[in-house]
Amino acid sequence: MNSILILLLFFAIRGAWKTSTFKKYNFEAEGVPTDGGALHPLLKVREEIRNIFLEMGSVLSNYPPNPT
């Protein structure tokens, strides 16, 4: 990590970045796909509560209503 910091300081303080050549950045490149993830705990609770109400016969509604 220290070598990276020294290199960054060299580029910043000495102005070496002005004369260096850098690889062209590809803005169209896609990121590395993730292996998955997990739901936030509050989203899990919300889903559980939603399922309880559905099992009791509740009808879902769009609240707040979507503007049409």
Q: What is the pLDDT of residues 10-49, one digit of tens each?
A: 777 777 777 878 889 899 999 888 888 888 999 999 999 9
Q: What is the pTM of this model?
A: 0.38
pLDDT-based confidence at residue 1 (cuts at 50, 70, 90): low
- Report CA dihedral (51, 55, 56, 62) to the nearest 10 degrees: 50
Question: Could you give the residue ranges of the DSSP H alpha helices within 15-66?
Answer: 41-55
